[in-house]
Structure 1
């Protein structure tokens, strides 16, 4: 096959490209330039897709002996990932930019261009596995090493995208083995630190970055009954479940810590309360997709597991597609035990065993704490973004 290897400049994508060559494929390496900002050089191990990363990717491609190109996707990245990130936070939701990047850049824009140029597949260094069922349908599964499994951030892939995706590292038992292989191949990135944090916020200061983009505006931090207990400089700086950085001047009546329960951008208000008020009995979203073959009867409740963060443990649940308040279908997920600190904007990925069945961006949550048990609180049992 003719394969386009997405090379981020890290050790995983370099080894993935090399393995694709050894598997007999005709491979071309490409690095995605996602930013034109001059201040995005890596500092420590933060960030990714920088000028330094581009050079690292080229050196690896030279050693492998494959053609190498840099494609400028900066404008598409700004529109589909950065601007989306700002809009979601401004609306009081908690976005996952890595999900959006995989969905709209690496497996939409990149794959679309690759197919137009005659490539059969795009290979990446993600730790996930693609299996084929007895009828030839491709399925996305967890990697063999759960400690490094990245199937969650790939949950946005569709059946069409899976048909043209390749993950050469999925069966590798550990990252240490990948690094050892990179060293044997002579890759300079063998011991390069993993990237982390949001790539377009290289210093890791999300609150400061957002304040610079959307400005600051003083607002109230209130208890569930409306009692003002503090102030802030912008509701967009807070996420549901947050405990640190509230800087409240008074303790709760019971002396316990408070957590962010809800962000209300319309009134620039942040609602706080006890941890137990974070318990969520139901999540739902209309922006759902299936990673491969969809359930035969998605409107019939089925047992599954749901994962709401990249490094969270999966939780047993029941899911089904139902008509939402406005009549449009939404994927409704009810965990057997309440989820803690879920925010609209997060991604819920549904698994059956090791298989990724699909995902949805969470539009609304339903509290596990009955309204009549919350002592006249002002937070609704159903919180909708």
Structure 2
């Protein structure tokens, strides 16, 4: 079957990357349908007019204009219910329990893929596609895996570790073969009106970056003040509520210590924020659960292997030994200590240039 007999639904955020993805796939002969996912803001509430975000009025307007230039069908699909349940509710609950979540990972897994792919396949599409800076490889072992894009600076593989084999088998990521300046050049050459649109940086539903206030508004829960303490329990002062803090944080502590101190642990059960010295933020081990194996089918209980692991989105990666220590648990021992291991964030481990698997950091 040639490309012209295959249909691709492209998730169009109104930005340059997804717009170029749609253009490239049309050039490759696919039947392309553009879709923007309404996932958060109502049109009257849009707060990201010129910030390149993926949720509001500008996203729909820009995506529709691009679809017009490309001559492809374009639709807006409502995924607000799915987004509220799988992203916002998850985000809020994690913070209330002293963890620091990555909502983009949840959005990718349960909204941008699970919900969009299900609807796309139901209308007869063969694939969905996005503008992520990543590539999909079909490995010699028969499994699909997310592989690094050609540009480390924009690489987005970390946020995609949760995708399933079925999702990967029905996904195309054409932008992963290009660096960002080339993507903008392609957009300009194709006459796309978003060629020089700026990238979004913040979490789309918290554009001002004030997570604690958002959590209070959404949940109706006012987090109580509590104690800043040392790891031995010595009280150092009062904090504003645990949702204001994350492991590794230095700014905004307002403690008269006379030196730089850092958050080393959050204890929701006692409403304490533990503070320590710079060296206390470094760790050699961690545990993770909620596992998803991607490039490797499994890591049997008791077995271990060596990987390159990332503990946050902008982490360059550190060598480590990953051992299966429970039905839904792995223990990671790093070759060199890593800074600010943060419960709630993802551990993603790589073999060569592809994602082998990942999980959520517990401790």
TM-score between the two structures when normalised by the length of structure 1: 0.88
Distance 2:301 2:130 in 1: 30
- The correspondence of residues 308-323 of structure 1 with structure 2, limited to 5 A, is 308-323=311-326
2:52–2:197: 8 Å Cα contact kept in structure 1?
Answer: no
Matched residue, 1:233? 240
107-116 vs 159-168, which moves further: 107-116
Q: Specify every segment of 5 or more residues in structure 1 that has no aligned partner in the other structure, as ranges.
A: 365-385
2:72 aligns with 66
User: 1:295 deviation in Å?
Assistant: 4.4
C-alpha change, 1:123 and 1:302, in structure 2 (3 Å) is same
1:39 maps onto 2:45 in alignment: yes
**Total equivalences in the alignment:** 355
Q: Are residue 177 (structure 1) and residue 176 (structure 2) matched? A: no
- Check the 8 A contact 1:221/1:228 in 2, yes or no: yes
Contact kept, 8 Å, 2:246 with 2:342, in 1: the verdict is yes
Deviation at 1:313, TM superposition (A): 0.6
Separation in structure 2 between the aligned mates of residue 293 and residue 114 of structure 1, nearest angstrom = 27
Q: Is the 8 A contact 1:303 1:319 kept in 2?
A: yes
Q: Deviations over 1:30-63 (max 9, x none)?
A: 0000124432331552643211111100100111
Structure 1 residues 298 and 192 mapped into 2: Cα distance closer, same or farther (>3 Å)? farther
Distance across 2 between alignment mates of 1:216 and 1:41? 26
Shift of residue 150, structure 1, vs aligned partner: 0.8
Does residue 25 of the first structure (1) align with residue 24 of the second (2)? no
Query: What CA distance in whole angstroms lies between the structure 2 residues aligned with 1:152 and 1:346?
Result: 11
Aligned partner (choices 37, 41, 60) of residue 54 of structure 1: 60
Which residue, out of 107, 110, 121, partners 2:116?
Answer: 110
Checking the alignment, whether the CA contact within 8 Å between 2:321 and 2:334 is kept in structure 1 is yes
Deviation for aligned residue 1:66 = 0.7
Which position in structure 2 is the counterpart of 1:221?
Answer: 228
SS at structure 2 position matched to 1:169? helix
What is the distance in 1 between the residues matched to 2:182 and 2:301? 40
- 1-side partners of 2:332 and 2:62: how far apart? 42
**Are the aligned partners of 1:159 and 1:292 in contact in 2 as well (CA < 8 Å)?**
no
Aligned 8 A contact 2:299 2:324 in 1 = no
Among 170, 175, 197, the alignment partner of 2:202 is 197
Whole-Å separation in 2 of the counterparts to 1:129 and 1:97: 21
- Residue 274 of structure 1 is matched in structure 2 by 277
Q: Which residue of 1 aligns with 2:334?
A: 335
Is contact 1:151-1:356 (8 Å) kept? yes
Equivalence map 1:115-130=2 (5 Å): 115-130=121-136
Whether the 8 Å CA contact 1:46–1:202 is kept in 2: the answer is no
- Aligned mates of 2:125, 2:8 — CA distance in 1: 6
Instruction: Please tell me whether the aligned partners of residues 346 and 359 of structure 2 are also in contact (alpha carbons under 8 angstroms).
Output: yes
Distance (Å, rounded) in 2 between the aligned partners of 1:48 and 1:196: 11
Residue 96 (structure 1) aligns with: 102
Which residue matches 2:346?
347
**1:284/1:333 contact within 8 Å kept:** yes
Counterpart for residue 262 of structure 2: 259
Shift in alpha-carbon separation, 1:35–1:342, aligned structure 2, 3 A = same
Q: Deviations over 1:336-359 (max 9, x none)?
A: 111111111000111011111111
Superposition TM-score, scaled by structure 2 size: 0.93
Partner of residue 161 from structure 2, selected from 152, 155, 160:
155
Judging changes above 3 Å, is the alpha-carbon distance between structure 1 residues 68 and 18 closer, same or farther for their aligned structure 2 residues?
Answer: same
Map Cα deviations across residues 128-160 of structure 1 (whole Å, 9 max, x no partner). 111223455433210011111111111111211
